[in-house]
Amino acid sequence: MSSVRMNIDGKDIEVEEGMSVLEAAKEAGIEIPTMCYDERLKPSGACRLCMVEITKNGRKKLVASCCYPVEEGLTVNTTTEDVHKIRRVLSELLLAVTPNGTHRELAAEYGITKTRFHLKTNPDSPCTLCGLCVRYCEEVKHRNAVCFVGRGIHRTVALVPGASNDCMSCKECYDFCDSGKMVYLVDGILG
């Protein structure tokens, strides 16, 4: 596979074509916050915590680094004021959903310990809509026992009818569901 040369945060790097900007940054030792990313799964771009600024042909734009492929001559900046602004607002919004998760540490880095937002969420089963459970169940387990339901503010995650046998022998989504929603759902059906 051929390689591409690019620059991240002032560092010239050479990486394999086909990688994402997030993966390239990681290889260069640069950490970008993520929530819906898992290296075993196809990126979905759901959480937007991994936004970075790219400069291409002299034009700047913000992109989700987990979904954006590396390109020859690309310049990436992971620490612009706009990038920090997005991370600050998103981490505060996520705190309104649940205090548990990687966004908590991110919020703390910005000195945010409580949120100004009030969202209509069920405190017994908060869900950040990261989608890791849905994608893991589909792409890794090939079971499709979890799905998204509802729209807008009512959108959430549910177990498909009849999923109890699959879930009872699995529960692997517990590991990455920081909000605790999957424990609530699966333990709920298992009694």
Q: Which residues bind ligand SF4 (CB under 6 A)?
A: 127-133, 157, 173, 176-177, 179, 181-182
Give the shortest CB-172-to-ligand FES separation in angstroms: 20
86 binds ligand FES (CB under 6 A): no
Among ligand FES, ligand SF4, none, the one that 177 touches (CB under a kind-dependent 5 to 8 A) is ligand SF4
Tokens coding 102: 């990687």
> Which residues, 6+ apart, have CB-to-CB distance to 167 below 8 Å?
145, 159, 186, 189, 190
The SS3 of residue 61 is strand
Q: Report d(CA 56, CA 75) in Å as an integer.
A: 7
Torsion of CA 28, 29, 35, 36, to 10 degrees: 30
91 binds ligand FES (CB under 6 A): no
Give the shortest CB-36-to-ligand FES separation in angstroms: 4
Among ligand SF4, ligand FES, none, the one that 128 touches (CB under a kind-dependent 5 to 8 A) is ligand SF4
Give the shortest CB-35-to-ligand SF4 separation in angstroms: 8
Nearest residue (CB) to ligand SF4, 163 versus 177: 177
Find the farthest-apart pair of alpha carbons in the chain and give their distance in angstroms, rounded.
Answer: 58
The H or E element spanning position 181 is helix 181-190
Among ligand SF4, ligand FES, none, the one that 133 touches (CB under a kind-dependent 5 to 8 A) is ligand SF4
Cβ–Cβ contacts within 10 Å for residue 37, how many?
24
15 binds ligand FES (CB under 6 A): no
Q: Where are the beta strands (DSSP E) in 68-140?
A: 75-77
Nearest residue (CB) to ligand FES, 66 versus 137: 66
4 binds ligand FES (CB under 6 A): no
Q: Site residues (CB under 6 A) for ligand FES?
A: 34-37, 45-50, 64, 66
